[in-house]
Amino acid sequence: MRQDTRLSRLLHVLLHMAETEAPLTSEHIAGMLGSNPVVVRRIMAGLRDAGYVAAERGHGGGWRLTRPTAEITLLDVFRSLGEAELFAFGLSDPSPRCLVEQSVNDTMREAIGTARDALLSRFAEIRLSDIQADFNARRATHAPTLKLPHAPD
């Protein structure tokens, strides 16, 4: 599993976790992610330490959300992933002697900082429940014939 796809994959897992009753084992999650239970535990550790999920051990154990999906934002999940770099590029030397390089840095810092703030505040606005709502709408549209309590004429 590539590092740069973690956020997206983790959201996927978290939403499935929200949908199911039983806790999900690391084994099971690793299956979904095409990865490995140990790696899953490593990743989930961040979410656990941040208080968004908890694991129970032993028979019938596994991972559960500890909060309603309306109280978890994309920013929360991103942060829990260990504050990975947001951008695929950065400054070479943070405080260079060369005046030319200082100007380059200041210019790039401003541009990157603005973009970073904008993206993170957008992340902060998006709750897992928003994605859930989108998913439910999608399900209603996509598979309306499946297991309907009463078919609408």
Partner DNA sequence: ATGTCATGTAACCGGACGAATTACGAAAGG
Partner DNA sequence: CCTTTCGTAATTCGTCCGGTTACATGACAT
| Spatial distance between the Cα atoms of 62 and 41, rounded to a whole number of angstroms | 10
Binds 115: which of DNA, a copy of itself, none (CB < 5-8 Å by kind): a copy of itself
Say whether 89 sits in a helix, a strand or coil.
coil
Residue the block writes with tokens 């005046």: 99
Of residues 40-99, which lie at the interface with a copy of itself (CB under 8 A)?
74, 84-92, 98-99
Whose Cβ is closer to a copy of itself: residue 14's or residue 62's?
14
Of 9-17, 23-31, 40-48, 145-153, the window that binds a copy of itself (rule: CB under 8 A) is 9-17
Binds 114: which of a copy of itself, DNA, none (CB < 5-8 Å by kind): a copy of itself
Which amino acid, one-letter code, is at 12? Answer: H
| Spatial distance between the Cα atoms of 99 and 96, rounded to a whole number of angstroms | 8
Closest to 122 measured CA to CA, from 114, 110, 132:
114
Binds 124: which of a copy of itself, DNA, none (CB < 5-8 Å by kind): none
The dihedral sign for the CA sequence 110, 111, 116, 117: positive
Residues that bind a copy of itself (CB under 8 A): 2, 4-9, 11-12, 15-16, 19, 74, 84-92, 98-108, 111-112, 114-115, 118-119, 122-123, 126, 130-132, 134-135, 138-139, 142
